[in-house]
Chains A and B, each alone.
Chain A
Amino acid sequence: MIHNFLVWLQNSLGKGPSDTAQSWSEALLGSLNFWGLLDGTHLIALMLFAGAILVVDLRLLGVTFRRTPVSVVSDAILPLTVFGFLLVVITGMGLFFARPLFYYHNIWFRLKMIMVALALLNILIFHSRIQKSQGAWDTEALPPGRVRAAAAVSLAAWLVVISFGRLIAYDWFECGKPQPAFINWAAECATSENGAVPLAAPSAATPEAGQPK
């Protein structure tokens, strides 16, 4: 069902009656400047968002701003994090809209979304449980172990999100290439445009692997 919705999103939404008409998704992908601006803004927004999270997490780990209360650092930097996150999400949705089927069947994109969910869950747990006792450790140079653990999980999760995001550009596990059954299953390659090709039956024409797009 999701696949069919994305096919409509990519090929039909906004498409006019003429033979040469493009859908909005195709127009965005083929746009002279806008797609580049969207992609560049995604990276710059990531610098702001992940960079701001890094500074707060380093404080929670007791590595930086050891003389400054955690609340002072987090309260001052939170607006940057929130704004950066909104910008990352909006530009990310724009990039997804330009190639929905490619992203939907991309194993790295799927892993990235799972890691984003886990990272957001970690933030939720931090705010709902760990932060409740902040008054007790707010001014401590080295916060308690569970606070540092949450910060370490946060840093690791966003690092993996960024890594998977960069790997989306690589076609190592693209549907249509001979690959393990697990990858074909995890990326739902059977329903993709290129289909699922098991390792045992290599295709005659496979594109060169290992280079970014």
Chain B
Amino acid sequence: MNLEQLFPHARPWVENLVNVWPTPYVKPQFAWWEILHVVALITLGGTSIVMNLRLIGLGLTQEPPSEILRSLKLWQTVGIVGIVVTGVLIGMANAERLYDSAAFIVKMLALVGGVVLTYGASRPVAKADGVVSTAARVWFVVGMAFWLAALWVFAVSDLISPGVFHIISAAALIVLVAVKGRARLVYLGVLIPMVVLQFLWTHLLVKPHDYARLNPVNITFAWLFSAWIVGTALVQLFRAGRGTEGGPLTKIIGYAAILVWVTAAAAGRWIAFA
């Protein structure tokens, strides 16, 4: 799925974007705008990871979530505004490539989902020190819909589908830190053999360049990994129950608000590959 398939009549408009102000001024400095885009992404990444890990109950646990939000909200907004402004300018200078790119659709869906989850759910929940209001629940559902749509396009699009392993890996690592004691051993005891099995399957049973056979195997493993990681996280969340700084939904919002930006970043990189 790409914008050309969704809006086939828009091609002349897309082709002309390179002549529209301010693109003629952006294109000669394309590299510097790309650098600003990466710097904005890092600013957003650092602030979102620290703030949402706190909602999960990790990281800066000596301070309440509201204090972390108070300290980081300006910088988080700088990051989000930065990626949007530089992204629009880069996109206009590179519009034809993005028009044909499925990864760009993923990035846009994740961007909308990220903004909704951050401003509608994660930040209000952090401000209320973990209490999830009705409005935050509604925005969480809206943001999740965009993010899950992004993941679906990522997973079903040819040539970019391996990119979902970025999100699966990031989720796996957060869950690894979040689960404690024997649960962590059980978690790793299943996860590691699955990784080894996938490697052997995709290198010995199927040749690494046999895409037609490789793709279904990778998709199957992506589902298995996802089920195991999400299942472990949910068991851990509901076993822990409701604490002084929110219950399972607070933590789920924390997970989603990190992983949605990982999805946007990963999709942005895969635009260059397919």
Which of A's residues lie within 8 Å of B, judged by CB?
A: 31-34, 36-37, 39-41, 43-44, 46-48, 50-55, 58, 64-68, 72-73, 76-77, 80, 159, 162-163, 166-167, 170, 210, 212
Contacts and interface: CB of A to CB of B under 8 A. Distances in A.
B54 to A, nearest CB: 9
Interface string B250-266: 00000000000110011
B100 interface: no
Contact of B42 (A41, A54, A77): A54
Given A44-B170, A170-B31, A54 B49 contact: no
Contact of B59 (A32, A44, A46, A80): A80
Given A40-B270, A41-B169, A55 B265 contact: no
Given A36-B162, A37-B162, A72-B63, A64 B46 contact: no
A44 B35 contact: no
7 contacts: A36-B273, A40-B166, A51-B44, A68-B60, A68-B63, A77-B50, A77-B60
Nearest to B79: A51
B265 A65 contact: no
B60 A163 contact: no
Contact of A55 (B38, B41, B47, B273): B47
B43 interface: yes
Contacts of A48: 45-46, 49
Given A32-B209, A77-B59, A40 B45 contact: no
A50 B46 contact: yes
Contacts of A55: 46-47, 50, 72
A127 to B, nearest CB: 20
A32 B232 CA distance: 31
* Max chain B C-beta neighbours (<10 A), residue from A31, A46, A55, A212: A55
A210 B75 CA distance: 32
B50 to A, nearest CB: 5
A159 B38 CA distance: 10
Given A37-B162, A47-B45, A52-B46, A162 B265 contact: no
Given A32-B208, A54-B75, 13 more contacts: A41-B169, A43-B266, A44-B262, A50-B42, A50-B46, A51-B45, A52-B50, A65-B67, A77-B60, A162-B38, A163-B35, A166-B34, A210-B30
Contact of A47 (B34, B42, B60, B208): B42
A54 B58 CA distance: 18
Contacts of A159: 39
Nearest to A81: B46
Contact of A41 (B47, B166, B211, B272): B166
B61 A76 contact: yes
A44 B265 contact: yes
A162 B46 CA distance: 15
A33 B34 CA distance: 24
Contacts of A34: 208
Contact of A166 (B28, B38, B45, B62): B38
Given A166-B38, A167-B31, A170-B31, A64 B75 contact: yes
Interface string B194-235: 000000000000001101001000100000000000000000
B168 to A, nearest CB: 11
